[in-house]
Amino acid sequence: GMESLTAGPAFGMRHNALMPLMPPAMNMNRLLNPSGFGDMTPSYCSSSVISMTSGPDGPQVYQATSSTRTGPGGIKETRKTVQDSRTGTKKMAIGHHIGERAHIIEREQNLSTGVQEERQDFINLDDEEAEDFDREFHTKARSSMSLSTGRRSEQLALPSTQPAPSQRILSITE
């Protein structure tokens, strides 16, 4: 069944190959700098819920956040995180949508054991189309969502041995 597929080392490897496409610094810069979106103004909305209750073992915290970012051409990125100290779990789901197609990655981590599970859902997509879909999503997202500032912050997020001016020229000629 699905368990054996997702438990294999190849599955974990394949996913890690996608990770460099989403350095956290880049997303933070985008969140903090919505003016850098250029002429196409994608929309961004987010909500978060935090509740605290006091229990015998100290305060229990439940925190849930979700955000949706949309761009032209039917692209949409959704993110949801839930952290619950009562169950000791942290869950995160990232969904990439282009029109009716979507690729959703869910991760769940047990904070006490450190064990992490991962699940991928494809909507109107086959497994073997996933890579092309991801590439298409990132290409569209890059061209629309992070026009000038995203480029610069992406480069700054990488350790650089070059002086800054030549980097700036690089990003313009790209």
Percent of the chain with pLDDT over 70: 58
Confidence check: pLDDT of 34 > 70: no
132/3 Cα distance (integer angstroms): 24
* Tokens linked to 24: 């956290």
Sheet holding 116-123, edge to edge: 44-55, 58-71, 75-84, 89-98, 101-110, 116-123
Give the closest residue to 123 by CA, choosing from 90, 80, 78, 83: 78
At 129, list the tokens. Answer: 């189309």
Report whether 105 contacts 144 (CB < 8 A). no
- Does the pLDDT of residue 55 top 60, yes or no? yes
d(CA 83, CA 111): 9
Mean pLDDT of 65-77: 92
Q: For helices 164-173 and 148-157, what crossing angle results, to 10°?
A: 130
**Four-point Cα dihedral 25, 26, 28, 34, nearest 10:** 150
Cβ neighbourhood burial of 97 (10 Å; 0-12, 13-18, 19+) = buried
> Between these two residues, 49 and 167, which has the higher pLDDT value?
49
Residue 171 has pLDDT above 60, yes or no: no
Higher pLDDT, 110 or 153: 110
pLDDT higher than 70, residue 165: no
- Average pLDDT for 18-36: 46
